[in-house]
Each structure stands twice: as C-alpha cells, then as structure tokens.
C-alpha cells in the first residue's frame, strides 16, 4: 500500500512539473527585455518549479525565464553542490556597492559548451520578491553574485558573449549555428 502511494505521488509530481526547452544563442528571442511580474500567483509558482526542474536537468546553477522564452523578470539559482539552496528572484534589482571588479569564467545554458572570462562587479546588493511575493534583500559575493548578475543580464536581453570580443562572439555563433543545423536534420 505504501509503495503504491509513493509511486502515485511521484507520478503526480512528475506530471505537474516540466522540463522546458532552453533557447540557444543566437536565437533572437534571447534579446527580448523581460517585463515585471505584476502578481505572484500559482501560475508564477508553477513556472518557478518548472524552471528549477529544467535548470537541474540541464544541469546548471541559474536560469532566467527569458531563456525558456517566458519574458518575465524571474530567475532561479542554486549554486550549492547538492541542490539544497534554491533561490528565487522575482523582479530583481541590483545595486553595485563599490567599484571592485573581479574576473570569472562563465558558461551559460543558452551558450552550451563555451566558457569565457567576464569581468563583473564583486560587491552587489539585490532586492527581489521570493516565490511567495515577499520582498527581500541580500548582499551576495563570489559565485552567487556572478550568477545573479549573469541571470539578470538575460532579463535585459544580454548574454555573457556580449562581454567578449566580436571575433570570439562570431566564432561561437557560427559553431552553434552549425550545431543547430546538424540537429535539425
């Protein structure tokens, strides 16, 4: 009886969450500027759950709604090794706290297989709504600060490849276009 109940619950959970398609560079939809979320409701919470499932499956540490062709200001992040620290940022706003910059090697689920060094502010403050619509502010550093800035760029139609030279960006674009053509066959 208990085993049947567990199987039923797993099936229900699996049906209620979905792995969504992640747009890949140079898809022009990645350049769309996301609109603010006006109401945090069950639709938004379902989207957040699907985004986490998609991000963990990819696997990645962050995902912006823009990457799944939903142009709302929603980001999910989990930089923990064991997927135990899921964070939700709805309508996030970043404030740079000082001029200290740091270089990080960044990759992206929308630019699969490529990593480049990007310079970003090291000390930031982020104010956002959580999955229940409650406001919070954090002052992250390290990987979390980088990830937040990277994902917020997506909400503004920007990708990490925009920080690198036009030559490197063009090379990445050509390689991904070739990959997409081969996959379409």
For residue range 56-82, list pLDDT tens digits in order: 999 999 999 999 999 999 999 999 999
Contact 87/74 with Cβ under 8 angstroms? no
- Which residues, in sequence order, are bridge partners of residue 78? none
Task: Specify the residue for token string 């229940």.
Answer: 132
Question: What mean pLDDT comes out for the span 27-44?
Answer: 98
Question: For residue 25, how far is the Cα from the chain centroid?
Answer: 14
151, containing H or E segment:
helix 142-155
CA distance 173 to 24: 10
Question: Which residues, 6+ apart, have CB-to-CB distance to 77 below 8 Å?
Answer: 61, 62, 63, 86, 87, 89, 144, 147, 148, 151
Annotated active-site residue 182? The verdict is: no
- Of these residues, 81, 151, 177, 183, which one is catalytic? 151
Q: How far apart are CA 15 and CA 46, in angstroms?
A: 12
Q: What is the mean pLDDT of the chain?
A: 92
Distance CA 147, CA 152 (A): 8
What is the predicted pLDDT for the residue at 176?
A: 94
pLDDT-derived band at 1 (thresholds 50, 70, 90) equals low
Q: H-type helices in 17-141, by residue range? A: 42-57
Known binding residues for Fe cation are: 108, 150, 154
Q: Respond yes or no on whether the N-terminal peptide bond of residue 172 is cis (omega within 30° of 0).
A: no
């Amino acid at each position: 009886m208990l085993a049947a109940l567990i199987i039923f619950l797993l099936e229900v959970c699996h049906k209620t969450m979905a792995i969504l398609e992640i747009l890949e560079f140079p898809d022009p939809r990645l350049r769309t500027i996301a609109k603010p979320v006006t109401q945090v409701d069950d639709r938004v919470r379902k989207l957040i759950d699907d985004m986490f499932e998609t991000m963990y499956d990819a696997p990645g540490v962050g995902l912006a709604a823009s990457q799944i062709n939903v142009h709302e200001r929603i980001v999910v992040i989990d930089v923990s090794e064991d997927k135990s620290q899921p964070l939700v940022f709805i309508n996030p706003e970043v404030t740079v706290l000082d001029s200290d910059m740091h270089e990080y090697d960044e990759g992206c689920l929308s630019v699969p297989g490529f990593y480049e060094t990007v310079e970003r502010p090291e000390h930031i403050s982020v104010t956002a709504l959580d999955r229940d619509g409650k406001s919070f502010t954090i002052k992250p550093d390290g990987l979390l600060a980088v990830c937040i800035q990277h994902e917020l760029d997506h909400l503004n139609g920007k990708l990490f490849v925009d920080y690198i030279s036009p030559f490197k960006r063009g090379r990445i674009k050509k390689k991904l276009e070739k990959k997409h053509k081969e996959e379409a066959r």
